Amino acid sequence: MNILTDYLDKESSAKSLIIMLPGAYDSPANFLSQGFVVGLRARNIAADVMMADAHVDYYTDQKIVSRLHTQLVQPARSKGYEQIWLAGISLGGYGSLLYSQKYPEMINGLFLMAPFMGPRNIPLEIQQQGGLKYWQAGNIPEEDYDRKLWLWLQRYCLPYNWSRPLIYIGYGTEDRFITSSRLLAQILPPEQTFTVAGGHDWLSWQQLWLKFLDCAPLPRKLGLQAQLCRSTDVQ
């Protein structure tokens, strides 16, 4: 897996790492050209950044999970990073969730931007049953990874007494995956949800990224503090 990096400083003294996963037909270079790293540095966030070329082929048979683990997350923990966050757009959000489902203890948090979360029939079923809190998953076939993922997310309805990463989510109000995003947002604290007027595009993701960075629980240089986040869901 090819990786672009942006280190906090020449000594790579950061104790936090953000791993960024692009959408299906994007590349890690898009995070640079669309200003994601510039926005992060402008906010004095004390973290290194790795942008992974996690293209569509890695999602066949969920190879994305093993590749992230062996090539990025596990080596990063061995190197001494104390915090590791995953930030994924669309299919990259799906990969972030799949990894966190299998290795929740390895990740401190996720920021999901308009995440793809499997076929539409599952969120529609959950919506019809009144949301994730009330969803009855039934018997799940071994190979039904998407339904298993939603069942894992359902655990976020429980009190915070099990090993799980923080989840932040952001999406445009006209996004094509809005049903899935809203179902997840409903079970998260309101300050962990961001919305903007827009669709499934870079303009929306740029705005969402900056909203997240402004109040993300990440270390900052010069003693700066994150803002107090409030829900921005405008439906």
Q: Is residue 178 part of a domain?
A: yes
pLDDT of residue 30: 97
**Pairing of the two strands 48-52 and 3-6:** antiparallel
Q: Give, for all 235 residues of the chain, the pLDDT tens digit.
A: 899 999 998 877 899 999 999 999 999 999 999 999 999 999 999 999 999 999 888 888 779 999 999 999 999 999 999 999 999 999 999 999 999 999 999 999 999 999 999 999 999 999 999 999 999 999 999 889 999 999 999 999 987 766 789 999 999 999 999 999 999 999 999 999 999 999 999 999 999 999 999 999 999 987 555 554 554 444 4
Q: Which residues pair with 84 in a beta bridge?
A: 17
DSSP of 33-92, one letter per residue? Answer: HTTHHHHHHHTTB--EEEEE---GGGGGGGHHHHHHIIIIIHHHHHHT-SEEEEEEETHH
Alpha-carbon distances, residue 99 vs 111, 156, 175, 212, 220 (angstroms): 13, 16, 24, 21, 26
Task: Tell me the Cα Rg of the chain.
Answer: 17
Q: Is residue 229 part of a domain?
A: no
Between the two ends of the chain, the Cα-to-Cα distance in Å is 37
Q: Cα–Cα distance between 127 and 121 in angstroms, integer?
A: 10
Total domain count, the chain: 1
Q: Which residues pair with 16 in a beta bridge?
A: 83
Q: Is residue 74 part of a domain?
A: yes
Q: Is residue 50 part of a domain?
A: yes
Q: Which among 34, 29, 5, 8 is positioned nearest to 19, based on CA atoms?
A: 5
Q: Which domain holds residue 197?
A: 3-223
Q: Is residue 235 part of a domain?
A: no
pLDDT of residue 163: 75
Q: Is residue 22 part of a domain?
A: yes
Supply the CATH number for residue 155's domain.
Answer: 3.40.50.1820
Q: Is residue 191 part of a domain?
A: yes
Q: Is residue 113 part of a domain?
A: yes
